[in-house]
Amino acid sequence: MMSEELPIISEQSIKSLELSSNKNNKLLVIFYLSTLYIFVSVLNTTDLMLLLPVDTFKMPLIGFELDLIYFYVLAPLILILLHFNILFNYHEHLRKLDAYKGEFTIETIDSSMYNYVYISLKHGLRKGKVIKVVLWLLVYLFPLLVFVAIYQRFADYHHQGITLLHLIIILIDIILICFYLYVNSSYLQRTLSFWIFVGLSIVIGILELSYFSIFFYPLVSDYESKLISKNKNWYAKKVCSAHRLFLGPDRNQPKDCFPRIVVTDKDIVKISKSSMYIPSLFSKYGKMDKDLILRFGARVNLANRNLRYANLQNCILTRADMHNTQLQAANLNYTHLQAVKFDNAKLQDANMREVKLQKAEFINTQLQGASLVSADMTRASFYDESNLSYAHMQGTTLLMTEFGDSYLVYADFRSAKLNETEFFNVNLRGASFKKAKVTNVLFSESQLESIDFSGAHLTEVKFFKDNLSGALFQKAKLSEVSFNEGNLTTVDFSDIDLAK
């Protein structure tokens, strides 16, 4: 019996295919080394690095180091170009293989992955189908998943422009994948795996578009305090219902569903700028040294940042620069914020229980609905239309605290301790000082309509040119309290205790 003769392949065909195979093999190696490096860098990016982006990353192929922000801009751009190059050259190689398909077999051609898959499928070998799926995972799907990882990791930084860039890159990559899957299917046939990969790519695109519209939009839209507005946050409701549907009912609070930075106190003390403020070390300094440190100590720069819904509980951020920083609904419970500058910052609905705010400066700061229960606000100052309306300050310590030209409508000071505190030209309409201890406090030229001092202890308190119409002093204890040139219309002084 005569053996089957192998097709004769020309020297020109062999050389052309070998060059194409070697080129594609090298490109694939370079592409995957770059992709894996970027992927590992993304996995190693911590929330602390996003909070204080001082780390640098070495770019693949280029070699020079970049700051974290520039890395997350350039890395996906380089990766999408490399991925397009891989897809284009893979298509060109398939075209050459198809042109010479009558001239070779597995035995007569370089057995690279591209060649093996093509020839095996042409001869109906089962191994070829398995390797084709592996090849498609490497060439099509894995790079797309790396783009998704970049997109979702950096979303916690809350940069609208860069996150939008990441989303656009994902959509471009999905278009490239679907296009090359389609044009290459004429060489490899449209099997079930073809439709699976196309479907997966489209589903990923839909999910990431939904992620941007549902999760990311509330982080960059105009924030409205839930305690002032009667309207519910539509996006917050939608995002929580989505989490309960797909991820279970363990995340019922909107802030737990959104992209956000979570940094622990153990993370933050690793930063050299914050080490001197560790309570166990800071307490050893004398009063003069403490004052000098709070005036001239190192400062962490968090200015102009979007940190909505961030969890910074227990963190040491003494003297941090939070100029124009967004901290709406952030968790700042038990956080050290001494001597922090909050000018033009936004902290609506922020949780700040037992926060340390000694010597903190609030200039045109928005604190509507913030929870400052049992906070220490010694020598803190609030000026230039700072807004603490509806703020919760039960049990708060206000020693030598200053409020000027600010809004504290319906602020809750129940059981608070006020000593040597000044309120100048502030709006305290409807505020509650029930059972508060108010000592040596000055209210000057302020709107105090319907303010409630029921059961409070007022000692050496001066009211000068204030509007106290409708104020309540029921069962209050007054000692050396003076009312000068103010409006006392319909003030309720029933059952007061005028101590000597």
The mean per-residue pLDDT over the stretch 124-148 comes to 76
- Local confidence band at 480 (pLDDT 50, 70, 90 cut-offs): very high
Position 102 scores a pLDDT of: 54
Whether 475 is covered by a domain: the verdict is no
What is the number of structural domains in the chain? 1
Whether 310 is covered by a domain: the verdict is no
- Local confidence band at 75 (pLDDT 50, 70, 90 cut-offs): very high
For 213-228, write each residue's pLDDT tens digit.
877 877 777 777 766 5
154: left (phi over 0), alpha (psi -120 to 50) or beta: alpha
> How far, rounded to the nearest angstrom, does the alpha carbon of residue 41 sit from its chain's CA centroid?
18
Closest CA to 104 of 238, 12, 199: 12
Closest CA to 424 of 389, 367, 464, 388: 464
- Local confidence band at 275 (pLDDT 50, 70, 90 cut-offs): low
Q: What is 263-292 written as a DSSP string?
A: --HHHHTTSHHHHTT-HHHHTTS-HHHHHH
Whether 163 is covered by a domain: the verdict is yes
The mean per-residue pLDDT over the stretch 455-462 comes to 95
Position 330 scores a pLDDT of: 92
Q: What is the mean pLDDT of the chain?
A: 82
Q: Bigger pLDDT: 491 or 193? A: 491
Whether 87 is covered by a domain: the verdict is yes
Whether 381 is covered by a domain: the verdict is no
Alpha helices (H) in 44-139, listed in sequence order: 47-51, 68-99, 113-122, 126-136
For 417-437, write each residue's pLDDT tens digit.
999 999 999 999 999 999 999
β-strand 462-464 against 417-419: which pairing, if any? Answer: unpaired
> How far, rounded to the nearest angstrom, does the alpha carbon of residue 215 sit from its chain's CA centroid?
11
- Local confidence band at 66 (pLDDT 50, 70, 90 cut-offs): confident
The mean per-residue pLDDT over the stretch 135-140 comes to 82
At residue 326, does pLDDT exceed 60?
A: yes
Percent of the chain residues topping a pLDDT of 70:
75
384: left (phi over 0), alpha (psi -120 to 50) or beta: left
CA distance 317 to 399: 21
Closest CA to 297 of 358, 339, 343: 339
Whether 30 is covered by a domain: the verdict is yes
Whether 56 is covered by a domain: the verdict is yes
Q: Bigger pLDDT: 131 or 314? A: 314
The mean per-residue pLDDT over the stretch 294-306 comes to 81
For 155-170, write each residue's pLDDT tens digit.
999 998 999 999 999 9
Which residues 6+ apart lie within 8 Å of 99 measured at CB? none
At residue 7, does pLDDT exceed 80?
A: no
Whether 479 is covered by a domain: the verdict is no
Domain hosting residue 18, numbered range: 11-220
CA distance 123 to 127: 11
Position 151 scores a pLDDT of: 94
Q: Return the amino acid letter for 237.
A: K
Position 230 scores a pLDDT of: 45
* Range of 3-7, 20-24, 211-215, 473-477 with top mean pLDDT: 473-477
